[in-house]
Chains A and B, each alone.
Chain A
Amino acid sequence: MSTLQPENPSIERRIALQRVGRIDPESIDDYLAEEGFVALRQLLQSANPDSVIEAVTTAGVRGHGGAGFPTGRKWYFVAKADAPVKYVVCNADESEPGTLKDRLIMEGDPFSLIEAMIIAGFTVGATTGFIYLRGEYNLARHRLENAIRQAEAAGFLGRDILGSGIDFSLHLHSGAGAYICGEETALISSLEGYRGEPRSKPPYPTQSGLWGRPTLVNNVETLVRIPPILRHGAAWYRASGTAGSPGTQIVTLLGDVNWRGVVEVPFGISTRRLIDDVGQGVKGGALKLVQSGGSSGGIIPPEWLDLPLDFDSGRAGVVLGSGALLVCNAHRCVVDLTTVVMAFFRAESCGKCVPCRVGTVELHTLLQRLTEGRGTLRDLSLLETMGAMVKRTSFCGLGITAPNVLLDGLRHFRDEYIAHARDHRCPAAVCAMQDSAWGELPHLATVG
């Protein structure tokens, strides 16, 4: 993965990625030379945590972990919670397929995350923080461990930070490779040493999180936006983006484009501009669809390419989610894509609730039948009914979003599913349509 080099000011604006690729991520001196810890120093001097909440709220920062919850409000809830102990947790489990933004930040600018977490701790009244890191992120772990050590040695972490009387200690915890542990309550269960399974909300983590204490859970990208906002002001942050989604977002561009990588752009940019100006156009054929937001996101059909990408357009159907954009050209099969996505959820379901645990397996089984040329129209109708049911009834966001690609696919490309189910034909010529064990009984594939 790479970022655009050099920065292209007509499209990009780097806030979260400002130092990535420009400093030595293993050197605190490099970080200090680039405005590092300035926001923290100023804050500790002013000793005014409320000012942080005000700045974050005015800047209009929204969570980049996928849900877009207003960050200022979340910080306020934890800050005002009356409890002797509180925690700050950074969600660095980044497991959404095709999403590599947090990794780039942690590998390229680990100190910025540390600074942001100290600020968060000071603001909400927590003296302990945890980074829950995706298990596979070895380089990020190495860089973060190193950064924590250097920050401790330099007096930014530990007791009485910079003589302010404020304490904050930071712990790094590596996950064991479960997507569900990115869900905040499952993450908390996992941190506590329990099985990584989501818990009922309410109570929300802001009221009762880690070990029953008020807990602030934020995504890496959300957190690293805070120091620059404190430094330059909310108006500076709002200079780009839209009214409902101010500022910038990191997009991971993948698939059939000529340039793939990570780019930070103002909210509200259209998918078309990203593909044409950043991705340098579609590769290998005409554009068929863009899958946005990782496996849990949705499908952007060509008709929607000019819609702005922000949190609010989600209502029109453009799901931004984690910021991943997977571009598919005309040679890709939407049923094949749906099957691959469902295989992911089938493997990642935690197993707690029935609709997700069994539903994802049934949906995957039915989809496989379609790709193997032994599906029926009845299978298709069951897919649609069950997909909607799994979405409606699952316990947590994993099951709720698992059928998104299926349901969006049926919405925009129904004919292609029908071709697989009724005619046993793959219009994109991707699915092998092989007869399997049932091949000796071809009449079975046509009944129902």
Chain B
Amino acid sequence: MSTILLTIDDRKVHGESGETILSVARQHGIPIPTLCQLQGASTFGGCRLCLVEVEGIAHPVSACNTPIKAGQRVTTQSPALRADRQMVLELLFAERNHYCAVCVQNGDCELQSAAAQAGMDHVRCPYLSPSLPVDASHAQYVLDHNRCILCMRCVRVCAEVEGAHTWQMAGRGIEARLVADNGVPWGESTTCTSCGKCVHLCPTGALYRKGASVAEMQKKRGFLLRILEGRELGRTGEEPTDDFLVPTVEIRS
């Protein structure tokens, strides 16, 4: 491990070799929007919201999986990045059926908040309006495919933290679907421990607690770090924070 100096948004910052641009930016309080990123789980890199510009590279790069380099000059906000991030979000809203007004997650949704934050106020491309099922077979939770953005957070936290490996991605491209136990209704899964980790880390209303009605679902996003930091707690004695994943903006309820 050696210390690396670089510049982010004209600020001189430093990180350890092997760290990513995103992690160094966050440590220095420089915000970069993300959706699929999940602190405490492996990097995915699929949402493309964390794109940043690096001097000398023609196209933007994703901050979550680009390692820092000495002397690197990174820009996190520019008109071009804003336009690209807006279109990423427009594509997400066009892909499935996101009706914020009647969603359980309204007011506490990371997709909704990311769009507002990025300045996306309408979707230019055609809505695809697919016909997608809702899996309510689980006793406590519901999976609504209409709101899934395929961020793989649930897949990763289930495999990497809970160790249950219940969730997988099936199908390709626009046909990709989240499936339990390689394709059984969630309620029939023999691996699911009903721990609820996926539910609370799902950024949207795709996974929610049964019985929650419009705008009633509040996700407990802080628990994962609490678990992971809790393992260290005995040593450090510090209280883990609960706000590591606050939505990028606070949304009126």
Contacts and interface: CB of A to CB of B under 8 A. Distances in A.
A and B touch in the complex (CB under 8 A): yes
Interface of A: 178, 180, 195, 200, 202, 346-362, 365-366, 382, 385-386, 389, 391-395
A347 B173 contact: yes
B228 interface: no
Contacts of A395: 45-46, 48, 62
26 contacts: A178-B172, A346-B174, A347-B172, A349-B174, A350-B172, A351-B174, A353-B46, A353-B47, A353-B48, A357-B176, A358-B92, A358-B94, A358-B128, A361-B173, A362-B126, A365-B125, A365-B126, A366-B126, A386-B87, A386-B125, A389-B84, A389-B87, A392-B60, A393-B60, A393-B88, A395-B48
Contact of A361 (B43, B84, B88, B174): B174
Nearest to A350: B172
B84 A392 contact: yes
Contacts of B174: 346, 349, 351, 357-358, 360-361
Given A349-B173, A349-B174, A357-B173, A200 B45 contact: yes
B224 interface: no
B161 interface: no
Contacts of B132: none
Contacts of A354: 46-48, 88, 91-92, 95, 149
Contacts of B176: 350-351, 357
A432 to B, nearest CB: 20
B172 A349 contact: yes
Nearest to B95: A358
A355 B48 contact: yes
Contact of B172 (A202, A351, A366, A385): A351
A382 B125 contact: yes
B103 interface: no
Nearest to B65: A200
A394 B46 CA distance: 9
Contact of B173 (A351, A365, A382): A351
A362 B94 CA distance: 9
Contact of B169 (A195, A359, A386): A195
B91 A382 contact: no
B51 interface: yes
Size class of B's contact patch? 20 to 34
Contact of A200 (B43, B149, B150, B168): B43
A386 B123 CA distance: 12
Contacts of B196: none
A353 B149 CA distance: 10
B238 to A, nearest CB: 31
B91 A355 contact: yes
Given A351-B150, A354-B91, A355-B91, A393 B51 contact: yes
Nearest to A201: B65
Contacts of B126: 362, 365-366
Interface in B116-171: 124-126, 128, 149-150, 168-169, 171
B231 interface: no
Contacts of B171: 351
Contacts of B150: 351, 357
Contact of B45 (A353, A362, A386): A353
Query: Which of B43, B62, B125, B149 is the most central at the interface, judged by chain A CB atoms within 10 Å of its CB?
Result: B125
B67 to A, nearest CB: 6
A386 B176 CA distance: 21
A366 B84 contact: no
A348 B149 CA distance: 19
Nearest to A352: B46
A195 B59 CA distance: 27
A389 B92 CA distance: 14
B175 interface: yes
A300 to B, nearest CB: 22
Contacts of A385: 87
A178 B91 CA distance: 24
Query: Which of B46, B62, B95 is the most central at the interface, judged by chain A CB atoms within 10 Å of its CB?
Result: B46
Interface string B48-89: 100100000001101001010000000000000001100110
A393 B149 CA distance: 17
A352 B91 CA distance: 14
A366 B51 CA distance: 26
A361 B48 contact: no
Interface string B196-226: 0000000000000000000000000000000
Contacts of A178: 172
